[in-house]
Structure 1
Amino acid sequence: MRILIGGGGEVGYLTARRLSREGNEVTIVEQNAERCAHLEEVLDARVVRGSASSPETLREAGIRDTELLIAVSDSDEVNLLACLIAQAESAATVKVASLRTHEADHWRALCGTVSLKIDLIIHSESELASRILRVLGTPGVSDIVDFAGGRVKLFGMGIDEGSWVAGKTLAELDRTGPPKNSLIAMIFRGAEVIIPHGSDVLLPGDQIYIITRSIDLEKVIEFMGLHRSARLERVFILGGKQLSIWMAQALEKRGVDVKLFERDAARCEKISQVLDSTVVVHADGTDEAALIEENIRDASAYLAFTNDDEDNIIASLLARRLGAQKVVALVNRLNYLPMAHRLGISTTVSPRLHAVDRILQFVRKGRVLSVTTFREEEAEAIELVAAAESRYVGKKLKDVRLPNGAIVGAIARAGGAVIVPRGEESIEPGDGVIFFPRKRVVHDLESAFLWSRGGGRLDPGSGPWACAGAFPARVGGHYGAPGRRRLDRLQRRPQAAPLQLDDHGRCGRPAGMAKPAAGDGAFASRRNSAGHADLDRHRRVRWPAVFFLAALQRSHRRHIRGCLGLHHHRRHSAAPG
C-alpha cells in the first residue's frame, strides 16, 4: 500500500516504522531539515522536506498516487489542510487526521457539512480520558482494555512484596481456584516480556496482565487481592493542558472534588472560565509544600499531565509518598515507560502511542479488529477474525503450532459467548481471537493465522484497508532512499556480488548470478516426521545471497527472494550440508 504521512514527529515516526516494517511503501513529509536527516537514517521510507499544508510539496510526495494519507503533524491546521489538498488531488485517497483542539467534535461535524471527508479523526486526549476513568477507582489496577465490543476485559496490575500471589507459580495459583474464565496473558519483568507457562513464578515487581470475561472482572480483581474504592472523592491534577481539562470535566460530572495545579497565571484564568466546580490553583504541583498545604494525603488520585515527562514521573513519585492512593503519569517517550513501571508508577498514558494504535487499527481493519501496544512496543494484543479457510480453524488449541512467543488469550464466539481457553477448545469460523504475541512474532502470527490451508492468502475481509498490516501490497515494489542506501553499502562489500538497481530503485538479480533452482541452498526442504512441512523463514541460501538477506529487514528479504527465484519452504531440522 502507498502511504503518505504528513509530519515526521514521534507519532509519524512510530507509525512509519510499523507500516514500513510490514511491507508498505511509506513517504513522510517533514519540514525540519535535521528531523528529515534523522528519519532517512532510521527508516526504510522516502522522506520529502516541506510542509504537509503545501499542495506543491504533497504533489512531490506523490499524493495523487497515494492510497492512504495520515496527517499527524503538531499543527491541527496543517493536518486539516493536508486532508483538504488530498481530497482535491485524489478523491480515492483515504484520509486520517489527528487533532489536539478541544473542539474536535465540532470539527467532525463541520467536515461533514462542507463535504470534507476525513475517514478517521483521532483525538487522543478525549479517548484517553475514558480509559483513565476506568482505572481510577481501583488503586492496584494499572490499565483496563476492552476487546470484543466490551465482552472481554484485559487489566494490568503490579505484584507487590506483600501480595499473596508473590512467589507462586501459575500452576500453584491455578490450584487455588481462580475464576474459571481468566488467564494471566503477559508478565513484564524489568525489560523482559514473558508469555507465561504453568512453571513461571510471579515475583515482586512484576507487572502482569490478566484477561477475563467482562462479567467476571470484579471476581478476578478480588481474587488477586485488589479492592475497588467506595467512590472517588478527591482528585489532584497537575498541568493545564487539554487532557487535564477533559479529565476535570469528566470528574465534575461524577461529583468528584477536583483541584488543578497550573504555573501559568493566564492559563489558570482561562481554565477557571471553562470548568465549573474545579478549584484551579496557581502553584507548582510538583512542590511538596504546596501539595501538603492543599491536603494531598489520602487523595483518591493524583494525575500528572504536564508536557514534561520527567516532571510527571517525579511528581507522581512525590504524590505517592505523600499519601495519594493512586498516581497516573503522562509519558510520551517510549523508553521512559519501563523505567516508570520499575519506579512503581503502574499507570502511565501516552497520547502518542494511543494515536499510533488507533492508526494501526484503522489501517489493518477487516480481519484485524484491534491492536493494543504495550510499553516500548515490546508486545501487542491483536484481535483477529477467524476465516473458515484459516489453518487454525477446526483444530484444538493444544494441536495448533503457534509461533514461539504468542498465546491465545480469549475466543469471542460470533453468537456472543466468550471463552478463555485452556487447550481443549477450538477456533471456529467467525470467532474473534485475541492473541498476545511478543513484538518479534507479530508478523509471523498474522501471516499464519490469515493464511489458508492450501497455502494461499485469505480474503482480507471488508474495509478499504483490510489486513494491510498482515501482508505487503505486493512482493516487489519500490523502496525509498534508505533502502537504496543500504543496498549501496552492501555493494561495497568485496565478498558479495553487486546488486543491480533499476532507475526506480527496484532490486534485480546480482550480476552474473544464474537463477537458482527451487530448494537449492545449504538447507534443503524435506518432509518432517508429521508427514507435512512447516514454514522455514530462516533457510540459508548460497553465497552471496546469504550475505545481504541476513542484513535486510524481513520485508526486503521477501522481495529479494522473489528476485532470486527462491520461495518459502517448510521448516525442517536437517543439519547444514
Structure 2
Amino acid sequence: MKIVIAGAGDVGFHLAKLLANESQDITLVDVDGDRLLHASQHLDVATVKGSSSSFMVLEQAKVNKADMLITVTASEENNLLTASLGKQMGAKRTIARINNSEFLQNRDRFDMRKLGIDELISPELLATKEVKRLLKEAAITDTFEFERGLLSLIGISIEEADHLHNKTLKETAYLNPYFDFLTVAVLRNNETLIPRGDTRFEAGDHAYYIAKPEGVERVLQLTGKKLEKKIKSIMILGGSRVGYYAARSLSYKYNIILIEKNKEKCFELADLLPNTLVINGDGRNVELLEEEGIENVDAFIAVTGDSETNIISSLVAKNHGVRKTIALVENMDYIHLSQNIGVDTLINKKLIAANFIFRYIRRGEILSLTSIHGVDAEVLEFVVNEGAAITEKPLSELDFPKTAIIGGIIRKGKAHIPKGDFLFYPYDRVVVLSKPECIRKVEEFFK
C-alpha cells in the first residue's frame, strides 16, 4: 500500500513508524527539512520537502498513486485543503486532522466527502474518549473490553507486598487454578516484555492481563488491589479543548469541578457547561486545590497546555489521596514515565490520534486494535477465517511469533483463556498482544 503523510510532526512520525514496520510504501511531506532528515534517519520512508497544499509538491510525492493520503500538519486549513486537492489528483482515500469539532458534530449537515475528504479526526475528541475509558475503574490503570466484557485487558502495578512479587509465572501458576486470566505483557523500566514461564515479577513492574470477568477480581486480589467504589466526583484542571470536551461528556454521569486560570474563559465555560462547577484559579496553587476539596474527589484529570503543570498537579492530587489521576502531556517520551513517577496514566493526544489512524487503515483485516500507554505493543482482535493457518495445529505446535502472545478467545458468546493444547476453529474471535514489528506475521495466521 502506498501512503502519503502530510506532516512529519509527532503524529505523522509515529504513524509512519507504525506503518514502516509493516513494509508499507511511505512518503512524508513537510516544510521542515530537519523533521524530514530525522524521519529518514530513523525510518524506512521517502521524504518530500515543501507545502502539502502545493500541486507540485503533491505531484512529487506521487499522490496520484496513493492508496491513502493522511494530512496531519498543525494547520487545520492546510489539512483540509491538502486532502481535497489530493483526492482530485487521484488519491484513493483521504484522512484529515482537524481542531474544530463542529465538523464532526455536524456530519449530517455537511458531507465532507463532497470535498474529497473521506475521514476527519480530532485529537482532542479522541483524547476525551480515552479519558472516559480510563475512568472506568480506579484500581486498574488501563482497561479495554472485548465483546462487552466477555474478555478484558487490564493493567496493574506490582508492589513488594503483592503475592506475585519476586516470583516467576511458573511459580505463580497455582494462584490461577481456573485459568481465567493470562499475563500478556510486563512493562519494566520502559522496556516491554512478552512474558514466558521464567519471567519474574519485580516491584515497580506494570503487568497487563487478558481476563474473564471472574479473572479480573482474582488478578486484583493477587496484586493486593480491590474493586473500589465507582468514581463519582472528578476535578478537571484546565479549560482547554480536551478539558471542555471532557467536562461536557462527563458532567451527566459525574460531579465535575473544572479549574481554569483565565477569567474570561471561565465565564465562557460556565455558560457552556451548566452542569459543571467552574472555578477561576491557578491549579499549581496547592492551597486552592485543597480549598476546592481535592481530597474528596475520586479522580483528577490535568489537561492544561503545560505538561509539567499537569504532571505536578496530578502528583499533588495523588498525595491527597485521589484514587485516579490522568495527565495530558505534549512530549511522547513522557508516556513511559507514568508508572515510575506516580501518576496513574499519562496520555498524549497526538499519539492517540496516530494510533487511531493506524486502526482506520487496518480496518477490515483486524476487528479492533488498541494501544496500551507506554507499552511498545498493540492489542488486536482477529476473526479466524475458514482454512486459516491457525486452525491447522494446537497452539503449542504453531510457529507463532515470540514477540506476540494470544491472550484470549471468544467462541459462540463464551470466553476462553488458551493453553498449549487449545485448538482454534473458524469464526473464533482471538485477542492478541503483538509487538508492532510482527503484526504482519501474526495476521498471516488468520487469513
What TM-score do you get using the length of structure 1 for normalisation? 0.71
**Residue 183 of structure 1: SS of its match in structure 2?**
strand
Post-superposition offset of 1:194: 2.2
Query: Residue 17 of structure 1 aligns with which residue?
Result: 17
Instruction: Find the aligned partners of 2:428 and 2:243 in 1 and give their Cα distance.
Output: 39
Instruction: Find the aligned partners of 2:147 and 2:24 in 1 and give their Cα distance.
Output: 27
Of Structure 1 and Structure 2, which has the larger fraction of its residues in strand? 2
Post-superposition offset of 1:209: 0.9
1:274–1:53 distance in 2 versus 1, CA, 3 Å: farther
Post-superposition offset of 1:216: 5.7
8 A contact 1:334–1:375 mirrored in 2: no
Instruction: Find the aligned partners of 1:384 and 1:212 in 2 and give their Cα distance.
Output: 17
Determine what percentage of the aligned residue pairs are the same residue. 30
Opposite residue 2 of structure 2, the aligned amino acid is R
In the alignment, structure 1 residue 316 sits paired with structure 2 residue 328: no
1:207–1:366 distance in 2 versus 1, CA, 3 Å: same
**Correspondence 1:258-407 to 2 at 5 A:** 258-376=256-374, 378-407=376-405
| Residues 328-349 of structure 1, C-alpha deviations (whole Å, 9 max, x = no match) | 1123433212222111223222
Structure 2 unpaired stretches of 5+? none
Query: Residue 152 of structure 1 aligns with which residue?
Result: 151
In the alignment, structure 1 residue 424 sits paired with structure 2 residue 414: no
**Correspondence 1:218-229 to 2 at 5 A:** 220-221=219-220, 224-229=223-228
Post-superposition offset of 1:142: 0.8
8 A contact 1:20–1:26 mirrored in 2: yes
Post-superposition offset of 1:27: 1.6
| Residues 218-261 of structure 1, C-alpha deviations (whole Å, 9 max, x = no match) | 5654665433443433311111111111211222101x332222
8 A contact 2:368–2:380 mirrored in 1: yes
Query: Residue 435 of structure 1 aligns with which residue?
Result: 432
In the alignment, structure 1 residue 187 sits paired with structure 2 residue 186: yes
**Correspondence 1:92-107 to 2 at 5 A:** 93-107=92-106
Instruction: Count how many residue pairs are aligned between Structure 1 and Structure 2.
Output: 447
8 A contact 2:163–2:222 mirrored in 1: no
Opposite residue 321 of structure 1, the aligned amino acid is N
Instruction: Find the aligned partners of 1:202 and 1:68 in 2 and give their Cα distance.
Output: 43
Post-superposition offset of 1:207: 0.6
1:367–1:291 distance in 2 versus 1, CA, 3 Å: same
| Residues 247-282 of structure 1, C-alpha deviations (whole Å, 9 max, x = no match) | 11222101x332222222332232222111322222
Structure 1 unpaired stretches of 5+? 451-457, 459-577
**Correspondence 1:210-225 to 2 at 5 A:** 210-213=209-212, 217=216, 220-221=219-220, 224-225=223-224
1:216–1:253 distance in 2 versus 1, CA, 3 Å: farther
Instruction: Find the aligned partners of 1:303 and 1:231 in 2 and give their Cα distance.
Output: 16
Instruction: Find the aligned partners of 1:220 and 1:117 in 2 and give their Cα distance.
Output: 49
Query: Residue 4 of structure 1 aligns with which residue?
Result: 4
**Residue 165 of structure 2: SS of its match in structure 1?**
coil
| Residues 294-338 of structure 1, C-alpha deviations (whole Å, 9 max, x = no match) | 221132111111233222222211221122222111234332122
1:195–1:31 distance in 2 versus 1, CA, 3 Å: same
Query: Residue 47 of structure 1 aligns with which residue?
Result: 47
Post-superposition offset of 1:357: 1.7
8 A contact 2:329–2:347 mirrored in 1: yes
Greater shift, 222-231 or 50-59, is seen at: 222-231
Post-superposition offset of 1:14: 0.9
**Residue 95 of structure 1: SS of its match in structure 2?**
strand
Post-superposition offset of 1:21: 3.1
Instruction: Find the aligned partners of 1:263 and 1:178 in 2 and give their Cα distance.
Output: 53
Instruction: Find the aligned partners of 1:406 and 1:42 in 2 and give their Cα distance.
Output: 23
Greater shift, 167-176 or 342-351, is seen at: 167-176
8 A contact 1:36–1:49 mirrored in 2: yes
8 A contact 1:181–1:420 mirrored in 2: yes
8 A contact 1:111–1:117 mirrored in 2: no
**Residue 368 of structure 1: SS of its match in structure 2?**
coil
8 A contact 1:104–1:123 mirrored in 2: no
| Residues 386-438 of structure 1, C-alpha deviations (whole Å, 9 max, x = no match) | 3333332131112222222321101223x333211122211222322222233
**Correspondence 1:246-257 to 2 at 5 A:** 246-254=245-253, 256-257=254-255
CA RMSD of aligned residues (A): 2.6
**Residue 405 of structure 2: SS of its match in structure 1?**
strand
Instruction: Find the aligned partners of 2:5 and 2:113 in 1 and give their Cα distance.
Output: 24
Instruction: Find the aligned partners of 1:251 and 1:30 in 2 and give their Cα distance.
Output: 37
Query: Residue 81 of structure 1 aligns with which residue?
Result: 81
8 A contact 2:7–2:30 mirrored in 1: yes
Greater shift, 58-67 or 33-42, is seen at: 33-42
Instruction: Find the aligned partners of 1:271 and 1:79 in 2 and give their Cα distance.
Output: 28
Opposite residue 103 of structure 1, the aligned amino acid is E
Opposite residue 317 of structure 2, the aligned amino acid is A
Instruction: Find the aligned partners of 2:158 and 2:89 in 1 and give their Cα distance.
Output: 54
In the alignment, structure 1 residue 200 sits paired with structure 2 residue 175: no
1:107–1:2 distance in 2 versus 1, CA, 3 Å: farther
| Residues 101-157 of structure 1, C-alpha deviations (whole Å, 9 max, x = no match) | 232423533442772353332234333434433442532211112335654320111
Post-superposition offset of 1:66: 1.5
Post-superposition offset of 1:51: 2.7
Instruction: Find the aligned partners of 1:66 and 1:312 in 2 and give their Cα distance.
Output: 40
1:131–1:215 distance in 2 versus 1, CA, 3 Å: farther
8 A contact 2:2–2:26 mirrored in 1: yes
Instruction: Find the aligned partners of 2:230 and 2:43 in 1 and give their Cα distance.
Output: 47
Opposite residue 390 of structure 1, the aligned amino acid is A
| Residues 341-373 of structure 1, C-alpha deviations (whole Å, 9 max, x = no match) | 111223222222222222222222333233333
Query: Residue 502 of structure 1 aligns with which residue?
Result: none
**Residue 356 of structure 2: SS of its match in structure 1?**
helix
1:135–1:229 distance in 2 versus 1, CA, 3 Å: farther
Instruction: Find the aligned partners of 2:433 and 2:375 in 1 and give their Cα distance.
Output: 12
**Residue 141 of structure 1: SS of its match in structure 2?**
coil
1:158–1:303 distance in 2 versus 1, CA, 3 Å: same
Post-superposition offset of 1:158: 1.0
Opposite residue 313 of structure 1, the aligned amino acid is I
Instruction: Find the aligned partners of 1:94 and 1:440 in 2 and give their Cα distance.
Output: 25
Larger Rg: 1
Post-superposition offset of 1:290: 1.8
Post-superposition offset of 1:289: 2.0
